[in-house]
Amino acid sequence: MRFVAVILALAAAGATAGAAELRPSARLVEADPEPWRAGRCVIYRESNPGVADAAFYVKGRIVAADVQTRRLSLCPQVSGRSIEQYTREEFNRLVLTHPCVSSDNYARDVQVAMIRLRVERWETPFARRAANAGRLYRGMFIDTNLKEGMEIELEADLLGACEE
């Protein structure tokens, strides 16, 4: 009987060894799915160093929450420049591949929790120095003009609850 228990334990360990790693967003949603129900108010905030003490945001309501497998692939690089020197287009290309890795040696499958939200309100920076500082810039979310009622996706761990 003990032999059977050991075999079952080893089989279970082997089954999970090949499973995709859980990113913080997936752990967050799996641990407590209640805050991620459709209709809940959420907010994405970012601040841009050097742009006064302003806080920029997108506020909306959850449409759907989904844990999915994504492949971490190589982050796009711009040779000879640091991220602070990227153009907005180069920065957007980097953000759109996020999460990504610095070397092909680290490429792997991971589980991420993506939250789709319907946009209600936003405030974005307009200063040129904010072009490569965040997802929000000049009325846009990454490379898309923000509009009331449009839907965007973010990882769950980037969002917080907001007042109704």
Residue range 60-95, pLDDT digits in tens: 999 999 999 999 999 998 888 888 889 999 999 999
Angle at the Cα of 42 from the Cα atoms of 57 and 98, rounded to 5 degrees: 65
SS (H, E, C) 20-76: CEECHHHHHHHHCCHHHCCCCEEEEEEECCCCCCCEEEEEEEEEEEEEEEEEECECC
CA angle 106, 108, 114 (to 5 degrees): 120
pLDDT of 163 above 60: yes
Contact call for residues 94 and 83 (beta carbons, < 8 A): yes
pLDDT at residue 37 is higher than 90: yes
CB 108 within 8 A of CB 71: yes
Amino acid (one-letter) located at 152: I
| Full domain range(s) for residue 95 | 2-161
Question: Looking at the whole model, is its pTM more than 0.85?
Answer: no
- pLDDT at position 10 is 35
How many domains, the chain?
1
